Amino acid sequence: MAEGGARRDDPDGVSKQGSVSSRQATVQWEKASGETCILMSWLGYGPEFRQARSDAYREEARLYSRHSNAVTMMIAGSKAEGLTRPMESDLDYLFVHKDVICLEDGVNAGTVTREITVLRSCSRMTYPGHCRLLLERRGTYISWEVNEAFCDDGNGRVILSSGLFAHNVRLPSLLPYVLRKYGVMHDRAGPSMPYTEHGVIHYDIVNSFFYCCPDILSKWASRPRHWPPPEAVQQVVSLGALLTPVGVKGSEYEHVEWRVCFNAGEIELVNNLNDTQIKLYVLLKMVTKDVLNPRKKEVTSFTLKNIVLWIAENNPQSLFHERSLLHWLHEGLDALRVALVNRELPYYMIPDRNLMAACGLEQEQKNTWISTITEMMDEGPRMILRLPKIRQAIIAHPEPFRWYSRKRMELELWWLMFKKSEALCRDENMMLDRTDDILHAIKRRIDEICYEVGLRMFMEGIRGSRVNELKNVRISMLM
């Protein structure tokens, strides 16, 4: 009672004690945030290294595209954003067919050359972010995949079926010969054709059409926001959109619906995130992969990207710095928890589209994930220890960890250079000139790095390490 009475009689003392405790907690969060930022840079998520990855993949796509008059190749997803190692996740190849253009209502088709087939989007009776494509004008050249996908919509109009197009389309000739001949194809997943090369490298191949949709983009651009800056907004608008062959699951018109995507614009947006926002995105991806571990892509990197974009848009940029990283991780986890609870997350580019609508999340799994996320948030800065990459980096002795990180990043840079040189050394049939001196020199340096790492692993008694298994060392370093 005396203690209780003392607290009531001395509110200033309680306030002072609480204030000290609050400051200590803030210092603890900021210190842990700063240390996590440093570790993530050593792990390959610093701005310079991310930019090197992004530039390399963009150049590789450009070099391949020069061999085709039919399609333009893009590398999308986390590779284009510079956020994953070469074998850490799927490589997303996006092929944009040049013989077709899709136009929103009100866009004049008069400036489109006669060679190109014009399709007009119809969004009536379709889920937000999707449309159907009506034939407005046949071009003088039309590919077999497109021509055989036309059908009647039941009202005497010609419509392009996404289901038929996805079924008809084949592997683009721009893909390397080894993938076309020896790659293993898996069951179609949404709009993509998943392929695996040598059981190690995984590809998602998506075919698409350019979509001119100024009305959709102007609505996005006119939103009040803290971010991105006006020049980035205009750049995103100028990049337009794409349509990919996938409808809304369970829809009556699923086989003729097309999804609106903004791959190039989203790469631009991610490039405009600051270092703390990027690292927040990476940490959320780690939480999903290593803690939640989705079985059927109920939560994807795309989901997390949208959470980060909304957080960036709705908060002043001055609040995002290295000392606030874990605060924003806490906010990001809370946003993910709310999305799971409500089964609702607006798409950043088209807010009327709910990204959680068809996620296939079962109630038991939902409850488990919400409980896990809540536990993480309650752990404070220690929640970061749940992530294996971060935990291993903290536990590791500084000198070996930094040595290995330098070697891994050097290897990755040489690997990216090797892939670019491969693209340069391919002919119009995608056959590789294996006699090129530069390719041999790069390959030699890659083998030297793997030998150094393998030798050190062997000398330190790491089980399973053998100096002569350079391929295995290379794969483990690039994953």
The pLDDT score that the predictor gives to residue 1 is 34
The residue-averaged pLDDT of 225-241 equals: 97
Q: Within this chain, do residues 154 and 287 fall inside the same structural domain, yes or no?
A: no
The residue-averaged pLDDT of 313-331 equals: 97
What's the pLDDT tens digit per position in 250-266? 888 899 999 999 999 99
Q: Within this chain, do residues 251 and 317 fall inside the same structural domain, yes or no?
A: no
The pLDDT score that the predictor gives to residue 19 is 66
Is residue 291 domain-resident? yes
Q: Within this chain, do residues 105 and 142 fall inside the same structural domain, yes or no?
A: yes
What's the pLDDT tens digit per position in 143-159? 999 999 999 988 889 99
Q: Within this chain, do residues 159 and 240 fall inside the same structural domain, yes or no?
A: yes
Q: Within this chain, do residues 179 and 249 fall inside the same structural domain, yes or no?
A: yes
Is residue 431 domain-resident? yes
What's the pLDDT tens digit per position in 366-396? 999 999 999 999 999 999 999 999 998 888 8
Q: Within this chain, do residues 244 and 336 fall inside the same structural domain, yes or no?
A: no
The residue-averaged pLDDT of 46-55 equals: 94
**Using CA atoms, how far apart are residues 427 and 28, in angstroms rounded to an integer?**
57
The residue-averaged pLDDT of 130-146 equals: 94
What's the pLDDT tens digit per position in 410-465? 999 999 999 999 888 888 878 888 888 999 999 999 999 988 888 888 787 765 54
Radius of gyration of the chain (CA): 25
The residue-averaged pLDDT of 340-348 equals: 96
**Using CA atoms, how far apart are residues 216 and 129, in angstroms rounded to an integer?**
9
pLDDT above 70 as % of the chain: 93
Q: Identify the CATH number of the domain in which residue 121 sits.
A: 3.30.460
The pLDDT score that the predictor gives to residue 20 is 62
Is residue 56 domain-resident? no
Contacts with 395 (C-beta within 8 Å, 6 or more apart), sequence order? none
Please say if the pLDDT value at position 194 is more than 70.
Answer: yes
DSSP bridge partners of 261: 242
Cβ-contact 411, 450 below 8 angstroms: yes
Q: Within this chain, do residues 382 and 406 fall inside the same structural domain, yes or no?
A: no
The pLDDT score that the predictor gives to residue 138 is 95
Is residue 18 domain-resident? no
Q: Within this chain, do residues 258 and 322 fall inside the same structural domain, yes or no?
A: no
The count of structural domains within the chain is 3
What's the pLDDT tens digit per position in 14-49? 455 556 678 888 899 999 999 999 999 999 999 999
Q: Within this chain, do residues 253 and 310 fall inside the same structural domain, yes or no?
A: no
Is residue 63 domain-resident? no
**Using CA atoms, how far apart are residues 6 and 9, in angstroms rounded to an integer?**
5
Q: Within this chain, do residues 221 and 109 fall inside the same structural domain, yes or no?
A: yes
Residue 43 DSSP code: I
**∠ CA 206-208-212 to the nearest 5 degrees?**
145
The pLDDT score that the predictor gives to residue 3 is 40
Q: Exposure string (b/e) for 407-422, b if CB count within 10 Å is 16 or more?
A: bbbebbebbbbbbbbb
Is residue 62 domain-resident? no
3-state secondary structure 345-364: CECCCCCCCECCCCCCCCHH
Is residue 473 domain-resident? yes
The residue-averaged pLDDT of 396-411 equals: 88
The pLDDT score that the predictor gives to residue 14 is 42
User: Where does a domain end: 386, 406, 431?
Assistant: 386
pLDDT above 90 as % of the chain: 65
Q: Within this chain, do residues 83 and 229 fall inside the same structural domain, yes or no?
A: yes
Is residue 410 domain-resident? yes
Domain with 313, as residue range(s), is: 26-45+273-386
**Using CA atoms, how far apart are residues 380 and 21, in angstroms rounded to an integer?**
14
Q: Within this chain, do residues 104 and 178 fall inside the same structural domain, yes or no?
A: yes
Q: Identify the CATH number of the domain in which residue 293 sits.
A: 1.10.1410.40
Query: Pairing between strand 117-122 and 130-137?
Result: antiparallel
